[in-house]
Chain A
């Protein structure tokens, strides 16, 4: 049983196991913290993306006039991402293409990693909140950059005494974004763990495939899309507002 300072979801049963495990303790600023399964799984996801990126770069450096095979796949992916960013950000899309593309790929592969037996890194509130904080900083940076002093006066619109509510509205953005991603992926992880942990052996043949398609592939892809989309919507709102 975990009390108090121990992070949430560590106290699950042995059979139904969807908790974050401590692997390696180390000292950080006087406190004992742990390398957890989230770190390891995130490292695997990042390593996969990096290897893919290096291979893709090598292939594109020696690109053919008429694309074939792997080059086709890379070009299709890049064009799809470009269309996705440009359609929702318009003329501002070019500057944010790199960030949104990276974010989308990372969140997508993190969500899907449950399919390969990893514990999705996005089912850890630390991961999703950091991602949402990056988005929050980007939103506010662009707010100040494009609206100058209007970033402050906007908080007093339409009436001055609505300032606290506007302030809460700004701060709620990263909280709701991170909780949405975390909640969705966590729900999928819990459901799969319950299914594998509580049912007899004959129910675990064949049927989980359909559940994996829904909880890992479909839900994960939708949430990655929504996270990237909301980032773009909020930033565009500030730039044009």
Chain B
């Protein structure tokens, strides 16, 4: 264990953190699937309103997607922005 440098440990932990941050993808997956299912049911009940249902569904799904994208941004920052390493090197 003694031959792991401090920088190496920070990089490894940042990468693990990036992976963990992407667990956020579960929520939007469930939410978008539910919205799509309800949309399909609505079209089945009222095929005439397909256009309105589609646009409402897409808007709702895009808003539901936001939390997952926060996770993605955090993961990208941890992997390519290296905020923790910058903090460590400055101290």
Contact = CB atoms under 8 A, between A and B. Distances in A.
A158 to B, nearest CB: 23
A182 B90 CA distance: 29
Contacts of B59: 226, 229-230, 233
B66 A3 contact: no
B70 A179 contact: yes
Contact of B72 (A8, A9, A183): A183
A11 to B, nearest CB: 5
A180 B58 contact: no
Interface stretch (A34-42, A47-55, A148-156, A184-192): A184-192
B58 A11 contact: no
B82 A2 contact: yes
A182 B63 CA distance: 14
A186 B58 CA distance: 19
A8 B58 contact: no
The A interface is mostly helix, strand or loop, or mixed, namely helix
Contact of B90 (A4, A11, A186): A4
Contacts of A167: none
Interface of B: 55, 58-59, 62-63, 65-66, 69-70, 72-73, 76-77, 80-82, 85-86, 89-90
A225 interface: yes
B62 A182 contact: no
Residues of A in contact with B, size category: 20 to 34
A176 B55 CA distance: 20
Interface of A: 1-4, 8-12, 19, 176, 179-180, 182-184, 186-187, 190, 222-223, 225-226, 229-230, 233
Given A183-B72, A226-B59, A10 B66 contact: no
A8 B77 CA distance: 7
Given A222-B58, A226-B62, A184 B81 contact: no
27 contacts: A2-B81, A2-B82, A3-B82, A3-B85, A8-B77, A8-B81, A9-B76, A9-B81, A10-B80, A11-B80, A179-B66, A179-B70, A179-B73, A180-B63, A180-B65, A180-B66, A180-B69, A182-B69, A183-B70, A183-B73, A184-B65, A187-B72, A223-B62, A225-B58, A226-B58, A230-B62, A233-B59
Nearest to A11: B80
B10 to A, nearest CB: 12
Given A10-B80, A186-B76, A179 B69 contact: yes
Nearest to A13: B80
Contacts of B62: 180, 222-223, 226, 230
- With most chain A CB atoms within 10 A of its CB, the pick from B70, B72, B80 is B80
A3 B55 CA distance: 42
A183 B74 CA distance: 10
A135 B69 CA distance: 20
